A and B are shown apart, each in its own frame.
Chain A
Amino acid sequence: MAQTLINANPTVYSPSKTSQRILTFEEQDDSFEDPIDAQEIFDLIRSISDPEHPLTLEQLNVTQCEHITVSDESSRVLVEFTPTIPHCSMATLIGLCIRVRLLRSLPDRFKVDIRVRNGTHQSENAVNKQLNDKERVAAALENDHLLEVVNQCLATAGLRGQDTPSP
Chain B
Amino acid sequence: MPRLELVAQLKGHNDRVWQVAWSPNGNMLATCSGDKTVRIWANTSHSDTSKWDCVDVLDGAHKRTIRSVAWAPNGKELATASFDSTTGVWEYEERDKEWECVATLEGHENETKSVAWSANGSLLATCSRDKSVWIWEVEADNDFECLSVLQEHSQDVKMVAWHPHEEVLASASYDDTIKIWREDDDDWYCSDTLQGHTSTIWAIDFDKTGEQIVSASDDTTMRFWKQYKPNNPEGVATPGNAPKWKNICTISGQHERCIYSVSWSKVHGRVASASGDNHIKVFTEESSAQAVNAPTWNISASVSDAHGVSDINSVSWFPTEKHSDWLASGGDDGLVNIWRYIDDDV
Binding site for B on A (CB under 8 A): 75, 108-109, 111, 129, 132-136, 138-139, 142
Give 15 CB contacts A-B under 8 Å. A108-B309, A111-B257, A111-B276, A111-B277, A133-B174, A133-B200, A134-B276, A134-B311, A135-B67, A136-B129, A138-B16, A138-B83, A139-B65, A142-B65, A142-B83
Q: In B4-45, which residues have CB < 8 Å from any A CB?
A: 16, 34
Contact of A129 among B111, B199, B311 (CB under 8 A): B199
List B contacts of A139 (CB < 8 A).
64-65, 83, 110-111, 129
* Chain B residue at minimum C-beta to C-beta distance from A75: B309
List B contacts of A134 (CB < 8 A).
276, 311
Contact with A along B169-180 (1 / 0, CB 8 A): 000001000000
B158 at the interface (CB under 8 A from A): yes
Q: How far is the CA of A139 from the CA of B130 in the complex (A)?
A: 13
B310 at the interface (CB under 8 A from A): yes
State the Cβ distance, B173 to closest chain A Cβ, in Å: 12
4 further interface pairs, Cβ-Cβ under 8 Å (given A134-B276, A138-B65)? A111-B277, A133-B174, A135-B158, A142-B64
B255 at the interface (CB under 8 A from A): no
Contact with A along B41-67 (1 / 0, CB 8 A): 000000000000000000000001101
Nearest 5 A/B pairs, CB to CB:
A109-B309, A139-B111, A142-B64, A139-B83, A108-B309
List B contacts of A133 (CB < 8 A).
174, 200, 218
State the Cβ distance, B62 to closest chain A Cβ, in Å: 11
B244 at the interface (CB under 8 A from A): no
Q: How far is the CA of A134 from the CA of B259 in the complex (A)?
A: 12
Q: How far is the CA of A134 from the CA of B200 in the complex (A)?
A: 12
B200 touches A138 (CB 8 A): no
B83 touches A108 (CB 8 A): no
B163 at the interface (CB under 8 A from A): no
State the Cβ distance, B129 to closest chain A Cβ, in Å: 7
List B contacts of A75 (CB < 8 A).
309
B113 at the interface (CB under 8 A from A): yes
List A contacts of B309 (CB < 8 A).
75, 108-109
List B contacts of A132 (CB < 8 A).
218
State the Cβ distance, A74 to closest chain B Cβ, in Å: 9
* Chain A residue at minimum C-beta to C-beta distance from B111: A139
List B contacts of A109 (CB < 8 A).
309
* Chain A residue at minimum C-beta to C-beta distance from B333: A108
